[in-house]
A and B are shown apart, each in its own frame.
Chain A
Amino acid sequence: MSSTLLNSKDISRAVSRISHEILERNHGAGNIALVGIRTRGVVLSLRLRDKIKEIENVTVDHGVLDITLYRDDLADGIHKPELKKTEIAFALEGKHIVLCDDVLFTGRTIRAAIDALMDFGRPSSVQLAVLIDRGHRELPIRPDYVGKNIPTAKSKRVQVLLAEEDDEDKVVIQEQSN
């Protein structure tokens, strides 16, 4: 049982709007850098970068975070995701960093991402852009830019599919399957 929450057009409109909001809030693309959280946050961050380039004709710095080593459930041994590379090839000092992820849920991933980011330097600010905010936060974390707020039951599973990883653009909600 799954139903579609956003289709490809909805996603593209959300990316457009978030790009404009990022530029408005930071007064242009001057000191912005986008950092995507693996895996689908990276796709979102690259789309935002392309959109910002389209609007302002500026290519902003871009980085990739793998937060595996910062997870708070690593010691449980339940999650053992494959460790991939973190790539942050620019200095964070003086930059407004926009962290990008597909779904904001408990907030634990973002906590880990902020910790990981701080190990690379001291940015001027860290902002958060997500495609879906589904609620149920377990930490005091809130997004600055949201594609769509979707109130969900905690037992449901929200899945973001993006063409670069999944061959199509779509956000679906389904019953937990395990």
Chain B
Amino acid sequence: MALSTKNILGTKELTQSDILQILDTADSFKEISTRAIKKVPALRGKTIINLFFEPSTRTRTSFEIAGKRLSADVINISGSTSSTVKGENLIDTARNLEAMSPDILVVRHHCSGAAELLSQFVDSPIINAGDGSHEHPSQALLDLLTIRSHKGDLKGLKVAIVGDINHSRVARSNIRAMQTMGMKVRVVGPPPLIPVEVERLGVEVSHNLAEAIKDVDVIMVLRIQLERQNQGLLSSLREYSNYFCLTSETLAQAHDDVLIVHPGPVNRGIEIALDVMEGPRSLILNQVTNGVAIRMALFYLLLGENNANPN
């Protein structure tokens, strides 16, 4: 019982049995966060470094809490306080960190492929916590955990992913993971925000939100990434909202038991209306809770694997 991979770079490399193992392990870890003493000794003496070159509240805190609940020592390094501002490059930074013998590196970077690049230069297992618009595997896994805990089984579920697919690593990780688990994915958004290659992944494309959510089990609303909208792909946020904001009127088109997930942070009123976001079908905070369990599972499974094959 071990994962088929030493690093978690993307959901692309994960097999169905890897994903099931991660979800099952995470399910067992959920209980620890409900205890009065939220800590188990499993990773005592292990060191985890969070290396974040992009702003993050949820993901960084989630990885940090996950490590600490397993008794690992967690070090946080953010881009603005690291030596990269002195001109040190990514690989040198990682090599220097590795010289201090960490057991896992968690990396977030604005360039696609950054985590994979690092994995070629360091021996420690690497978890990709988001690289550019490429992958964000732990987010996809926590989405699956959340969906599974409400629907029981993932196979055959239909999902609509709504928003800026083009810039979304969350969408890319989810599409691959969902397909591996036998789910059907439809992406929804204005044509400029839907990349041409997406249809080749076997994903249905729609440009009409009300139509696209009629028959789905899950609606995944993506954040409009305001910091990545300088290429003129969107004429205006208001226009986007008019067509693609998930409001209670639009939602009336969907099944009564449809689930709504969003990777956060939310632009209230732009991609999702306030009442929908806080409504009974929204699992947004549930996702955040599950994120800790997923990251505990990744640490636990990766470190075990690593120890079983020293060097």
Residues in chain A within 8 A of chain B (CB atoms): 66, 68-70, 74-78, 80-87, 115-116, 119-121
Task: Say yes or no: is B25 at the interface (Cβ < 8 Å to chain A).
Answer: yes
> Is B28 a contact of A85 with CB atoms below 8 Å?
yes
Contact of B31 among A68, A78, A80, A86 (CB under 8 A): A86
In angstroms, how far is the closest chain B Cβ from the Cβ of A36? 16
The answer to whether B31 and A120 touch across the interface, beta carbons within 8 angstroms, is: no
Q: How many residues of chain B have a CB within 8 Å of chain A?
A: 25
Determine if B232 is an interface residue (Cβ-Cβ < 8 Å): no
Across the interface, which residues of A come within 8 angstroms of B41, CB to CB?
69-70, 115
Q: Which residues of A contact B37 (CB under 8 A)?
A: 119-120
Contact A84 B307 (CB under 8 A): no
Are A120's CB and B36's CB within 8 A? yes
Contacts of A87 in B (CB 8 A): 31
| Known A-B contacts A82-B1, A87-B31; A76 and B307 likewise in contact (beta carbons under 8 Å) | yes
The tally of CB-CB contacts under 8 A between chains A and B is 53
Q: Which residue of A lies closest to B29 (CB)?
A: A83
Q: Is B36 in contact with A121, judged by CB distance below 8 angstroms?
A: yes
21 residue pairs of the A-B complex, CB under 8 angstroms, read A68-B42, A70-B40, A74-B304, A77-B304, A77-B305, A77-B306, A77-B307, A77-B309, A78-B308, A80-B1, A80-B308, A81-B1, A82-B1, A82-B24, A83-B24, A83-B29, A86-B31, A87-B31, A115-B41, A116-B40, A119-B39
Known: A69-B42, A70-B40, A75-B307. A80 touches B2 (CB 8 A): yes
Please state if B1 and A84 are interface contacts (CB–CB under 8 Å): no
Contact with A along B229-269 (1 / 0, CB 8 A): 00000000000000000000000000000000000000000
Whether B45 sits at the interface, judged by CB under 8 Å, is yes
With A70-B41, A77-B305 given, can you name 16 additional A-B contacts, CB distance below 8 Å? A66-B28, A68-B42, A69-B42, A76-B307, A77-B308, A77-B309, A78-B308, A80-B1, A82-B1, A82-B24, A82-B25, A83-B28, A83-B29, A84-B28, A86-B31, A119-B35
- Report the minimum CB–CB distance from A79 to chain B (whole Å): 9
Measured CA separation A112–B28 after assembly (Å): 17
**Contact between chains at A75 and B31 (CB < 8 Å):** no
Q: Which chain A positions have C-beta within 8 A of B25?
A: 82-83
B35 touches A120 (CB 8 A): yes
